[in-house]
Amino acid sequence: MSLALRLPTPARLGYSFNWVGRIGLAVILFWAVIAVIGPWIAPYPPGDMVDYDYFGPMSGQFWLGSDYLGRDILSRIVMGARYTVGIALAAVLLACAGGVVLGMIAAVIGGWFDTALSRFLDAFNGIPHLLFGLVVVAAVGSSIPILIVTLAAMYLPGSYRFARALAVNVNTMDFVTVARARGEGFGHIILREIFPNILGPVLADLGLRFVFIVLVLSGLSFLGLGVQPPHADWGALVRENIEGLSLGAPAVIFPSIAIASLTISVNMFIDNLPTRIRDRSE
Amino acid sequence: MLRSATTWILVGQRLGIALVTLLIVSFAVFFATELLPGDVAEVLLGQAATPEAVAGLRTAMGLDEPAIWRFLSWLGGLATGDLGMSYVNKMAVADLLSGRLMNTLRLAGIVTLVCVPVALTLGIAAAMWRGSWLDRLVSVLTISVISVPEFMVATLAVLVFAVWLDWLPALSFGVNVDSLGAMLRAYAMPVISLSFVVSAQMIRMTRAALIETINTPYVEMALLKGASRRRMVLGHALPNALGPIANAVALSLSYLVGGVIIVETIFNYPGVAKLMVDAVSTRDLPLIQSCAMIFCISYLLLITLADMIAILSNPRLRR
């Protein structure tokens, strides 16, 4: 039986969402779809200068105005969704996969391995995230794989700590002791006994970490250290057009709204998850 | 109050952990910057450099020595206040930093003075009248501020205060602080933006800490014996929540570190963070390392302070 079959999706288990959670989910799905089909629905090529005016207003021809070079903002936001959502998703999956696996291993093995790993990762967490990104990008330059790995490295310790705390609790439960007495191996205990019982909270944690990663990625791009021109994620779009701010140009407002809509709706969705999913281990 | 020996052992332990963390962090900062592609000497001399010149400069800068040795001498320099020379403008890093550090500390100090009273009042009020319109409004506002990037808060502040209300100039903050008016103008926007970011965290954590205490049986007892809501919260719950709240304040102040990087860049405020971002674009390694260490130290200081407050204020944590 594969793991995917046992994911606690709301429909299968009969959990229902309230309307705030549903709105959040709808916005998340909207941006996910945009990120996938972006190139086909963008009205103009995102890199082409199509407007003779710069910081153009919203009009029938350019729905969200144009940027400092006269490029269409709608097309650039649609393409930016790919970078923002894609990079953040890859980074959060990497961070949580690493953190959860290490956390479960540390909880099951215990002893000095647990202590040493926890201390080391806690120390790593003592570096402010944005600062860490700044230093790494200063050192090795900015490219998309480096961004993904850096962001994942920033959030792995937090994910580890969260998963370890949950796994330690599950590890002391009777059914785990029984499995051990039955003679089950290390892999079985981690994958079959512990993992299904921490999955719900871990998924909620993944959502929150996704928000943090989107924020730090936008921050890095805003400082000019994230996605490099001519490509641009939403943070870079704000940076490019920041001079239009005093004109109140739509070119700087709409990318900001795009970031906010994504992060706020993920928060709304996570906050309104049915409590039985969030706190399954309790 | 009598503090037992174990308390001080625990506090000492926290300090020890902070020191070890600092060592690991400095290790990470040093080696992350050492990964710079290309040789520093080659970068400095440009493309026309002869191999002999590069080799000479490498020897002069001590780049031939093993990395671990350079790390130790760098660490020794840090401890004695010798931060090395900037590659770009050939000045001692300590001289470059001193003025900037004062500017950043002043900004952080003003933000702290503004934030703490406002955030504590709002957080306590929200917890006291939990579920009221005030609580809901505060919760929605804080969640919105927390879930958007710092630069967006600053951008919004510019839009509202400079573009729509026209009270302050947008994005034109110089260093001139000759008159009171000019000084207020120079500080107003950075302080407003940072205050929003930091107090949102503080309000949320204060509210959560107080509500946790309100949910305990003895506070419920106070309610059952007929104490008013005000008396129940301020008289019974608040004194016991002071520790967690102080912890929350110290923790939220650590958000200053990330916030200040963005805010100084946006408003061109001459502080350490602006210096560091500029150093990143010119790849001025000694400067980047020193700035990074300053930020890491202040961050660790705040987190350790929060931990120690938690230990000192909660006897249950010192088993």
Contact criterion met (CB < 8 Å) for A242 and B171: yes
- Number of H helices and number of E strands within chain B? 14, 0
Residue A2 located in a structural domain:
no
Show pLDDT as tens, one digit a residue, over chain B (319 residues). 456 777 788 888 888 888 888 888 888 778 777 665 556 666 666 666 677 777 777 777 666 667 777 788 778 877 777 777 777 777 777 888 888 888 888 888 889 998 999 999 999 899 888 888 988 899 888 888 888 888 888 888 877 877 777 776 655 555 555 566 666 766 788 888 889 888 998 998 889 888 888 888 888 888 888 888 888 888 888 888 888 888 888 888 877 877 888 888 888 788 888 888 888 777 777 888 888 888 888 888 888 888 888 777 776 665 5
Count Cβ atoms within 10 A of the Cβ of residue A223 and give its class: 0-12 exposed, 13-18 middle, 19 or more buried: buried
Residue A13 located in a structural domain:
no
Total tally of structural domains belonging to chain A: 1
CA distance B100 to chain A (A): 17
Residue A93 located in a structural domain:
yes
CA distance B105 to B194: 13
- Which pair of structure tokens corresponds to residue A42? 């963008």
pTM here is 0.81
Contact criterion met (CB < 8 Å) for B17 and A264: no
DSSP B236: I
Contact criterion met (CB < 8 Å) for A135 and B32: yes
Assembly ipTM: 0.76
Residue A4 located in a structural domain:
no
Report phi then psi at B62, rounded to 5. 75, 20
Residue A203 located in a structural domain:
yes
Quick count: other Cβ atoms within 10 Å of Cβ B281? 11
Asked if B16 is an interface residue toward chain A (Cβ–Cβ < 8 A), one would say no
CB-CB contact of B75 with B24 (8 Å): no
Residue A6 located in a structural domain:
no
Asked if B21 is an interface residue toward chain A (Cβ–Cβ < 8 A), one would say yes
- Which pair of structure tokens corresponds to residue B169? 């100039």
Residue A162 located in a structural domain:
yes
Asked if B9 is an interface residue toward chain A (Cβ–Cβ < 8 A), one would say no
Q: Report the CATH number at residue A132.
A: 1.10.3720.10
Q: Which domain holds residue A190?
A: 19-278
Residue B292: list chain A partners with CB under 8 A.
131, 134-135
Residue with token string 């990318």 = A255
Residue A3 located in a structural domain:
no
CA distance A2 to chain B (A): 35
Contact criterion met (CB < 8 Å) for B258 and A130: yes
CA distance B292 to chain A (A): 7
Contact criterion met (CB < 8 Å) for A139 and B163: no
Q: From B20, which residue of chain A is nearest by alpha-carbon distance?
A: A123
What are the residue ranges in chain A where pLDDT is below 50? 1, 280-282
> Which tens digits make up the pLDDT trace of A191-236?
888 898 888 888 888 888 998 899 889 888 888 888 887 788 888 8
The CA-atom distances, in angstroms, between B146 and each of B110, B209, B253 are 21, 18, 14
